[in-house]
Amino acid sequence: MSAVLLKAGCFFLIILMGYGLKKIGLLHQTDLPVFSKLVTKITLPAAIIHNFGQATMDVSMLVIVLIGFLCSGAYAVIGYGLFARGTREQKAFGLVNASGYNIGCFTMPFVQGFLGAPGVACTSLFDTGNAVVCTGGSYAVAMSVAGKGENGDKHQIRRIVVQLLKSVPFDCYVIMTALTMAGLRLPVFADQVAETVGNANTFLSMIMIGLGLELHMTREQTGSVAKILGTRFMISAVLAVLFYQFLPFSQEIRRTLAILMFGPVSALGVAYTSMLDGDINLASAVNSASIILGIVSLTAAIIVFQY
């Protein structure tokens, strides 16, 4: 347990480093797009490629993709329900800011550090389903809820598919899953390059989280944040126990899925809120608070389910 706490403490210190570098002016929040591109287009895909190369899979594990989709989508429905008595804009806000999981930039580094290649492969499958909701699905539905879609937005499905295909991590998930299922491996040199580049993913992801962290909330924002994250946490705890106890997978896969339940909300909620002309400050507060809660709850979950 001490090893888990030590490593989690290191992650937290790197996040604080990113936050501190922003406060002293060495880095700025405007640098976030650069870090985001490095993580999502280079280091995260490299980590996925390397860890898939170390894992083995069978076809039955593809159900994890469905689990990721259902979990992410369920939170979208729950978020809508939390603001069911509010305006259309508030319902749309709940839908995009309560849904999904921040896997690539937050949970994946934890999985890399604690659960190894099998955990990364399982997480990648889960995120494949999660991505369908996070990278366009929740936003498309929220547009209709907020009354901002044009002509029923009949081209929403096409836009979601295009958005998914433009996501480098998603493409890596699909390609590497197919190769692994087929029993094919990358050349040793390619795997070594992916391993070297992928090792930088944890550090860059934690620095990026620190840069984006905002710790200021009004009293009204605190209530809305508590409603969203409190509901997510309680449901996550129930799902984690059910997954660990009853899913028909190996213990390491059940453990990984249980731990994934405590990941923070999707970071894209802030961007979608902006596109919907919603409360960006509140969306940022939800995201930042979920990161802090995620550090604590993921660490606790790793201790509980791994020991």
DSSP string, 217-255: --HHHHHHHHHHHHHHHHHHHHHHHHHHHH-SS-HHHHH
The band of 155, judged by pLDDT with boundaries at 50, 70 and 90, is low
**In the predicted model, is pLDDT for residue 189 greater than 80?**
yes
pTM, full prediction: 0.86
Percentage of the chain beyond pLDDT 70 is 95
82 alpha-carbon distance from chain centroid: 21
**In the predicted model, is pLDDT for residue 101 greater than 80?**
yes
69 vs 169, more confident: 69
Task: Write out the two tokens for 168.
Answer: 């480098």
**In the predicted model, is pLDDT for residue 57 greater than 80?**
no
Q: What is the pLDDT of residue 70?
A: 96
The band of 69, judged by pLDDT with boundaries at 50, 70 and 90, is very high
Give the separation between CA 125 and CA 50, rounded to whole angstroms. 15
**In the predicted model, is pLDDT for residue 153 greater than 60?**
no
172 vs 239, more confident: 239
Yes or no: say if 225 and 285 are a contact pair by the CB < 8 Å rule: yes
Give the separation between CA 36 and CA 23, rounded to whole angstroms. 19
Q: What is the pLDDT of residue 154?
A: 57
Cβ neighbours of 224 (radius 10 Å): 21
Mean pLDDT throughout 24-35? 87
Mean pLDDT throughout 34-49? 87
Helix axes 219-246, 280-306, angle to 10 degrees: 30
The band of 156, judged by pLDDT with boundaries at 50, 70 and 90, is low
User: DSSP labels for 60-112?
Assistant: GGGHHHHHHHHHHHHHHHHHHHHTTTS-HHHHHHHHHHHSS--IIIIIHHHHH
212 vs 229, more confident: 229
Helix axes 138-145, 156-165, angle to 10 degrees: 150
Residue of 210, 197, 286, 198 whose CA lies nearest to 11? 210
Residue of 271, 260, 247, 270 whose CA lies nearest to 301? 260
Residue of 153, 98, 92, 159 whose CA lies nearest to 132? 159
**In the predicted model, is pLDDT for residue 53 greater than 80?**
no
